[in-house]
Structure 1
Amino acid sequence: MRIAEKVHYDPYDENVRADPYPVYARLRAAAPVYHNSQLDFWAVSRHADVTAFLLDGDRFSNANGNSIEPASWGPNAYKYASVLAMDPPMHTRVRSAVTTFFGSRRIASLEPAVGRMVRDLLDEVPDRFDFVADFVDRFPMRVLCLLIGVPENDHGLIQELADKVVERENGTHDAPIAAIEATLALMEYFGGLIEIRGRAPADDLVSHLLAISGPGQKVSPEEIVGFLNLLTAAGNDTVIQLLGNAWYWAWRHPSQRELAFAGNISGWVEETLRFDTPNQFAARMAVVDIERHGVVIPAGAKVLMLPGSANRDPDVFADPDRYDVTRLSPAKVTFGTGRHRCLGVRLARLQARVALRELVSRFSDYDIDTSGLRRVAAAEARGFLHLPTAVTRR
């Protein structure tokens, strides 16, 4: 039996979800191009391969989406996954329209509002609270609703639906009915919002997209709905996972927590993005047969790129399993690379920096009750649903 055949990677396996990094190390060493015949996917785990494949838009298509779940994979994926399920020229047109809204100046202008939201929430938390449920889960969606133009009275509804979209149970291999129904409800809501903004434009994302009218630039209402659905699901979830992971790993590493609390907030954010990547993989379809490391990935195959593994590759990152908030890691592929690089990078980083800065300004230390920890069950996600915390106030 070849060494590669001894390696087994199943992203739904509870042991893998609890700690995928030892499995990634075995993949990188023994099966850099891995095939799971039962789940019918291929996976690449080395940094060089993940980066090369993500950049290769000609041989790897997003037309079926970027999710491993059967309900989310197929030619209609663009309707709810937007730019993550598009190839050029559709992808170029829609992404260009959206990118003009998410400029650095607009994102930076959100910092005061994000700071107020975070401070208001921290005013409410007692000395013992659930870091995720009582704090982190309650503000990223408010920020997104502010950008989109959702009336304040509807923020709670959008939060509830977005949470259901990404909610999974242990052992499930596909999106549950509740998630599909929540997706349809979100899309229906956004369709109504588009009609309202068509009659009464405002300074928000929906109005911005509706106003684009140049030749070959206009985005349809259906395309706007798809992007808003993607934004509320992925944009909200990524920030929640990033902050929960940052809080947890700094607690697990007291020396690094001390550096973070001394003011190295940006390093705290960046090292968490590398060390425990919120989104562990992204799927593509091979357009042609692709040979790598003596293995041929057949045309039409579902291929997983594993940024969670790439960010721990010792060929790129020295001592990669060490959590070090002073580390410089410009090569990390947490947010992807190439034409599908995450549009919300600036926004995610801003929210994380502001939230951690405000936490450090209020609390001198904290402890986590590990008996109450609960991780998210989605195969591609790394984060927490519950993170019981006891804080020491300044």
Structure 2
Amino acid sequence: MLCPHGLPGGTTALAASPGGPGTPAPSPRPVPPSLGAPGTARDPFPLYRALREGFPVVYDEPVGAWLISRYADVRAALADPRLLASPEPAPPRAGGARTLLYSALREDAFTAGIERVAHVLARRLSGRQEADLVGEFCHWLPAAAAVVVLGLPRGDTRLVRERGRTGAGHWDALLRPHVVRRRTHPRADLLSVLCTARVDGGPLPDETVTALAGTLLDTAVRTGHALASFLANLLDHPGQLELIRARPELVPGAWAESLRRDPPLHVVLRRATERIGVVPAGATVACLPGAAGRDPARFTDPDRYDAFRADPGEQAYGIGEAAQERPGDDVGCPGARLARRTAEHGLRALLDALPHLRWAPGFRPVPTGLLGRSPRSLLVRFS
């Protein structure tokens, strides 16, 4: 998986001349580019191309991490149990609870609320001529979706919308009182599913319930970025958008293609628990989905958005738990499944409420960022 295309420190010292006087010293190896270089957050793709072609696995000294950029290597790294996402141990019975939560999200009863919220938000725009879909739709819908499926008070939507991502325990104070109530008075919501479940012969501890519910709330932040890129890709291709309007069953593939081309999270960090090739134990590894998704060794014309791509991606990172995903398949990650459901219902609601949806005259979306990359505004017209 990991091949020696660089040395710690990011540079290779000049080798001593092996010959006598007059023997030329070998040329130094080129210095690899850095993820921290100026302008990377604005346009990272030239950097990604340079990494894939010359330094597919290399130590980035300014960043302090090993960068992995090719499609096959990123997939292998994210599936490698020796590369951990977090130094913290998983909460008790988290695996079984995650499977339970993932299965529950298959049921229409738990996601019907997402559809209702999406249509309410879309209809609020229908009486106007223009709107910014980022501020008025993309960042509100995922927050509302997470709140409604968990059964939290609707007033918490603003809190979820406005809070940025922080460390573990971020949502504990919000969730604990609801967990206590659901233990004795369950409802028809996902929080109650977790609170009343029995996994491996016993109930789930509070820390497991709040951790898994918290991952869905964290997913809402990233889904907002992914939804903005999804809408931008389709608005840039009105022919594809119209075909999807006529055939809604094509939405999952269009969503997966957008995640391949424009993932919301371009850097996924892991820590090596042991030496793996040239990567030493304890080192930070930065997998780069934004580079992997545009690897020409895997995808034909990889910079092009094609909702009907003949060589679809088998991965999409940055939604849920950097889940590997196929069109219509969330590969066991509840966050990825919730994100996909949110995007599907959101797009359908917009197309129903705004039949003439298109870019405002002269507007072009400008994506930026690496941790939460997306256009910061989507100015559209629909009258």
TM-score after normalising by structure 1? 0.77
What's the offset of the Cα at 1:140? 1.8
Q: 1 or 2, which has the higher helix percentage? A: 1
RMSD: 3.0
2:5 matched residue in structure 1: none
Contact 1:244–1:383, Cα closer than 8 Å, also in 2: yes
Distance 1:267 1:61, change over 3 A: closer
Structure 2 match to 1:331: 314
Return the match for 2:49 from 15, 25, 33: 25
* Mapped pair 1:135 → 2:121: no
How far off is 1:308 after superposition? 1.9
TM-score by length of 2: 0.79
Matched to 2:164, the amino acid is V
TM-superposition CA deviations, 1:222-245 (whole Å, max 9, x none): 232222222212x21232122211
Within-5 A mapping of 1:230-379 = 230-233=215-218, 235-263=219-247, 264-291=250-277, 296-328=278-310, 329-334=312-317, 335-337=322-324, 342-361=333-352, 362-368=354-360, 377=369, 379=370
Give the distance between the partners of 1:26 and 1:363, measured in 2 at CA.
42
1:4–1:30 contact (8 Å) kept in structure 2: no
Structure 1 5/118 Cα, relative in aligned 2: closer, same or farther at 3 Å? same
In the TM superposition, residue 312 of structure 1 has moved relative to its aligned partner by 1.0
* 2:272–2:281 Cα contact (<8 Å) kept: yes
Gaps of 5+ in 2: 1-26
Measured after TM superposition, the shift of residue 255 of structure 1 is: 4.4
SS of residue paired to 2:164: helix
What letter is aligned with 2:163? K
Give the aligned partner of residue 147 of structure 1: 149
Whether contact under 8 Å (2:113, 2:149) holds in the other structure is no
Question: Larger deviation: 147-156 or 312-321?
Answer: 147-156
CA contact under 8 A between 1:251 and 1:368: conserved in structure 2? Answer: no
Q: Give yes or no for contact 1:41–1:304 (8 Å, CA) kept in 2.
A: yes
> How many Å apart are 1:151 and its aligned residue?
2.4
Identity of aligned residues (%): 26
C-alpha offsets along residues 278-302 of structure 1, whole Å, 9 cap, x if unaligned? 22221111111111xxxx1111001
Q: How does 1:1-394 map to 2 (within 5 A)?
A: 5-10=31-36, 15-57=39-81, 59-64=82-87, 75=88, 86=90, 90=91, 93-103=93-103, 106-125=106-125, 126-159=128-161, 163-166=162-165, 186-215=171-200, 218-233=203-218, 235-263=219-247, 264-291=250-277, 296-328=278-310, 329-334=312-317, 335-337=322-324, 342-361=333-352, 362-368=354-360, 377=369, 379-392=370-383
Which residue number corresponds to residue 9 of structure 2? Answer: none
DSSP 3-state at the match of 2:131? strand
Q: Could you tell me how far apart the structure 2 residues matched to 1:262 and 1:208 are?
A: 36
What displacement does 1:353 show?
Answer: 1.6
Q: Is the 8 A contact 1:104 1:346 kept in 2?
A: no
Q: Take 1:258 and 1:3, find their aligned partners in 2: how far apart are those partners?
A: 50
How many residues get paired?
343
Aligned-partner residue type, residue 332 of structure 1? Q
Name which one, 1 or 2, has greater alpha-carbon Rg.
2
